[in-house]
Amino acid sequence: MGWAETWNDILSGGSTRWKVTDETCHNIALNNFQSHLKENPSNVSVFCPLAGDDPFIHLLFSKGYSVTTIDLVPAAVERMKEQFISSEPSSQWTKQENDQTVIWEHSSGRATLMVGDALQKRAHLKGKFDAVYDKDSFGALPIECRQAFCDRIAEYIKPGGILYLECKRKDNHEQVKDQGPPYSLTKEELMQRSNYGRHFQYNEYLGDIYPISMTSAKQTGHILQRTFDTL
């Protein structure tokens, strides 16, 4: 099932896969995120790849962060837009299209939602972001797409920028780590040279973040930091 078909199934009442909608979980993630970003939120720009309609994005926005998301599925981005409109009825979105990407700009100037391929190079995003929030994106990708994905993240984040990453770790990790999505991941997979190991250093393992409904799996957190090498 492709991503568009997956979203059609979710929106029509099918399985929610590994979506998290519990506000308690979001607040736990926010505390972890903010503990590694000491700057005033108004000075922090966050990139959120494969964001779907994750409510955490609007939570970041409500706390003063500037957010930019990308997702391949227009229906998911429409659901994301609705969250802003529901909380702020005066919200307005303007649409433009550039480089095979649909770009929605929020009237506040602090939210940009893109519809397009997250693996595509985008020169205008190079070195733009102070932080990256990745909930399960890396673990959702086919293994052969990981290197290109990590290259894009490394290009977009500023040197010294923080990558907050959540992923699944299954109890029988060694037996199933090549089976997914979602893939079971540990520091070792994340920091392979073909993945984040070339342009990031590993700062901290956050352990189990919050309970999830998947049996025999934990939601784990990791803090990586962009090194000062050039691409």
Q: What is the pLDDT of residues 164-183, one digit of tens each?
A: 999 999 999 999 999 999 99
9-44: burial string, b at 16+ Cβ within 10 Å, e else: ebeeeeeeebebeeeebbebbbebbbeebeeebeeb
Question: Residue 195 and residue 146: Cα distance in Å, rounded?
Answer: 6
Q: What is the pLDDT of residues 125-159, one digit of tens each?
A: 999 999 999 999 999 999 999 999 999 999 999 99
Domains of the chain: 21-226 (3.40.50.150)
18, 195 Cβ separation under 8 angstroms: no
pTM greater than the 0.75 cutoff: yes
Q: What is the pLDDT of residues 55-98, one digit of tens each?
A: 999 999 999 999 999 999 999 999 999 999 888 888 899 999 99
Give the model's pLDDT for residue 4: 56
pLDDT cut 70: percent of the chain above it: 92
80-117: burial string, b at 16+ Cβ within 10 Å, e else: bbebbeeeeeebeeeeeeeeeeebbbbeeebbbbbbbe
